[in-house]
Amino acid sequence: MSFLSNFEWSQNIFYLLAGAMVFFGFFTVVTKHILRSAIYLMSVLFFSAGIYLLLGADFLAGAQVLIYIGGIIVLLVFAVMLTRSADLAEDHPPLTRKLFGAAGAITFFVVSAYLIEQSPLIIEKSLPSESASIASLGKSFVDIGASGYALPFELISILLLGVLIGGAVIARKEMRTK
């Protein structure tokens, strides 16, 4: 019996993930610092990937992490860093911020180590050959039918293009005349 197959555990994990999403979503909206807002948004997207995992949509969870967290948030952070905002230059953070950062890093390490240690290595004997699975995966990427991924990938490419253009507009330096 799998850890997540138990309904009660799944329901409790869902409430935990949903609560964390609401918490970080609130701070994404109300914070005045855009870099902190990007970090809060990254947390919301990470927890939504956890909900996708609970639903059994492993591919969607991986795409969420790779595309949204790995692409869009990093691009937003680079755009913010390229603007050289005076708000971002903080040479000596207060002790409380250092303690929260250390506590967050230690918590992340402990939870990650526990989950890695508890996760079983499942090897199915009825897996198709590598060439068959790669071929079927390639066909599903270009398939426009109900089981295909062509439309989502096209929409993601348009979204990434919009973010790239927005990042370039934000990072562009205006010539100020005095």
This prediction has a pTM of: 0.49
Q: What is the DSSP string of 71-97?
A: IIIHHHHHHHHHTT-TTT--SS--HHH
For the ranges 55-59, 132-136, 151-155, the maximum mean pLDDT occurs at 55-59
pLDDT band at 132 (very low <50, low <70, confident <90, very high): low
Tell me: pLDDT of 125 over 50.
Answer: no
Cα–Cα distances in angstroms (integers) from residue 147 to residues 62, 126, 135, 137, 138, in the given order: 18, 22, 15, 11, 12
Position with higher pLDDT, 109 vs 44 = 44
Over residues 20-78, the pLDDT tens digits come to 999 999 998 888 887 788 889 889 989 999 988 888 888 888 888 888 887 777 777 77
Question: In this structure, what are the phi and psi dihedrals at residue 90, rounded to the nearest 5 degrees?
Answer: -130, 105
Go through 32-59 and write b for each residue having 16 or more CB atoms within 10 A of its CB, e for each that does not: eebeebbbbbbbbbbbbbbbbbeeeeee
pLDDT of residue 5: 54
